[in-house]
Structure 1
């Protein structure tokens, strides 16, 4: 606990490991199997139970529940974990659960993510880097989210689904299938594809040629009216000249759940 600043009302159990310049605010609880990296801060009323490992320079604004048991009836107290990377921001009432023994035993969150109020990450999820989850966005168990993904407010993702890199999930959309990289999903009952996330790609430095090729791949997959097998043939052709299309095709080929269509 060297150089950590702990409010007198906070409880830090023996066995917790706090790095340099960690700040623990009023009425927080840090459990005995928790490791916190340098420069991480906890606002008021945060609870962290373990086994949980938290990286450097994370911000937990207040009332966050971190490392809780998985919300899974099959859980019988097995040793399961939560791992959080560096420089993430967790706003008010965010909940982050540990993994399950049957699901790999670990929930992972990467670096530089921004999780707004009331967002929930369930057991065995994997979240990449540079993602934004708006208020009340929710991941059920075993969801995988790539880098630079945006989940708008009140979006929900069904268990075992995958969200590809640079995808955008619109406000209130419910996702019950895999969302390929670059694709936008909008609310209509369950979420349906509505083009590519062109504006987000521009902000991340994708040039017009790359975006045009991704649009061609999207049209082949969703607009052409062909079957998925026929669309795959076209994507294979497009992939010869585009690393982005190759990534999209690899995502499709590696999935176990159906794509959103």
Structure 2
């Protein structure tokens, strides 16, 4: 027991600070804010330590195997594919293959059909045989997912350049899109700058429909090689898919 200021007795206040010491008013929020401030200071110090004396930074740009695969496809199309570039790209692509024979589009991501098709074709260009274990695993998985017919449009455009897919079975991308004013839906300025850089040349390629002789067949990537381009069912007319499918059908007339 201890005496109080009014002369009564009561339990001692053990939480009260000793005389002459200020009370600790730090809250959990203050501690979090202080930790964040220290982390920010360490981050700034780290970044400044990696800055070049001229003021810039450099770092790795992580991508996936489709960039290297498409580079080989483009070089093959242009007739400038050289052994050294092919060897280096193929080495990287093989090194990124997952255990089940597939490839993904980002680290730790799921297997991706289009990426696997493009990587497979690139390795075929590099001389890998379809009966090699790593190629056979990839081809089996591709067929299980629906084959080339189930790949993204962009992948099938690459394949159409070599006759591995029919241009008639691809969506129309008329160059006249350039004439759409900004108030028209889906005008070229509705897309991001990176998308415009892709769409504009694709409209020209789509109109010209160039084809180079394929160096080999890709029957092993079709669920039914006798019918590699199966017709696709139309989506309901009231859906966006249905609207675009019917619009594309009209553009093919």
Shorter-chain TM-score tier: under 0.3
| Larger Rg, first or second structure (1 or 2) | 2
TM-score (ref. length: structure 2): 0.24
Task: Looking at secondary structure, tell me which structure has more helix per residue.
Answer: 2
Q: Structure with the greater relative contact order (CA < 8 A, sep ≥ 6): 1 or 2? A: 2
